[in-house]
Amino acid sequence: MTRRLTMALPSKGRLREPSWSLLEASGVSPQEPGERVLQSHCLNADIDLLFVRADDVPEYVQDGVVDCGITGLDLVHERGADVEVLLRLGYGKCSLQAAVSIEDGAQGIEDLKGRRIATSHPRIAAQVLEDLGIEAELVQVTGSVEISPRLGLADAVIDLVSTGSTLRTNGLRSIGKIFDSEAVLVGRSGSTDFEARRTLTMVLGSVINARANRYLLFNVRKELLDEVTALLPTKGSPTVMDLATSGVVAVHALVPASIIWSLLPKLEACGASSILTLPVERMVP
Ligand code: AMP
């Protein structure tokens, strides 16, 4: 099918900037970016964009207003939307955590039995409490969940946490995590034969994969090659090339960005020299 793809993007809030920069890095940025624009087309791709609140994206996709969209995984579950998660995007990471005031004696979620819990995620909270067999009263609030205990509205909260600094600032302490979230690309359930959607998922996925990796290059004497390459992650095989200087080879490999800091000193100690790491733009495994 070759019709134009329609996609909902967060128009404001935490997921806006990283979502727009993901589209830019993927070469499909909006044609008329701007704070007040509600609709746009993509550069270089047959995609029509609709800018809406991240909260509204799950319903828009479920109801077929758009073919796909970017939102938080927490919002997909909280709305109970019948959509398909096409891709985890690796940003907007946070978790729903239960927290109590620092003076409270509760040690774990099971200690919330019979207590009042404020949350803006009542559906996920109710499901988790039911699964754990904990009966508690949920108080639904739409914002500033973390001040509910101080206002006397609740004994505890179930709220989104990324660094934990908002909890600490409000005199709260986490007593357990109940749900992990991150930004996701979602599509309508069941429309798998949609070529443009598959292409978009692949292109965004290639950028997400690339961001997590670095291209590593170094030189090493041939007799040390086995020892040095044994330090590299086992996935994939490094490229080894002879240099003009006899007895020395250049090694190229793709490595996870997260291990670079610990890998480089080991490579150097093992005899590698002229070590370079480069960012990767796209990666299709
Ligand atoms: P917004 O309300 O538009 O700023 O977007 C909120 C969404 O951003 C949430 O539903 C989460 O998916 C995501 N998010 C990531 N980190 C946090 C955080 N620390 N607090 C709240 N939302 C977060």
pLDDT tens-place string over residues 61-106: 999 999 999 999 999 999 999 999 999 999 999 999 999 999 999 9
% of the chain at pLDDT higher than 90: 87
- Closest alpha carbon to 86 in 3, 179, 211, 198: 198
More confident residue, 170 or 39: 170
State if residue 220 touches ligand 1 by the CB under 6 angstroms criterion.
Answer: no
Closest alpha carbon to 184 in 258, 280, 83, 110? 83
**How much is the pLDDT for 44?**
86
For the Cβ of 145 lying below 6 angstroms from any atom of ligand 1, the answer is no
- C-alpha distances (whole Å) from 190 to each of 47, 54, 238, 280 are 20, 22, 39, 33
Of 11, 12, 15, which is best to mutate to test ligand 1, by the most ligand atoms within 8 angstroms of its C-beta?
A: 15
Q: Are 58 and 79 in contact (CB under 8 A)?
A: yes
Query: How far is Cα 88 from Cα 204, in angstroms, rounded to an integer?
Result: 10
Dihedral angle of Cα 84, 88, 93, 97, to the nearest 10 degrees? 40
pLDDT tens for 194-224 read 788 999 999 999 999 999 999 999 999 999 9
Does pLDDT of 171 surpass 70?
A: yes
* pLDDT recorded at residue 247: 96
**Selected residue with higher pLDDT from 121 and 237:** 121
Q: Whose CA is nearest to atom 8 of ligand 1?
A: 14
Is residue 41 lining ligand 1, measured as CB closer than 6 Å? no
Q: What is the mean pLDDT of the chain?
A: 94
Closest-lying ligand 1 atom to the alpha carbon of residue 166: 19
Our answer on whether the CB atom of 14 is closer than 6 Å to any ligand 1 atom is yes
Ligand 1 atom 14 nearest Cα: 92
Most informative mutation of 160, 168, 177, 182 for ligand 1 (most atoms within 8 A of CB): 160
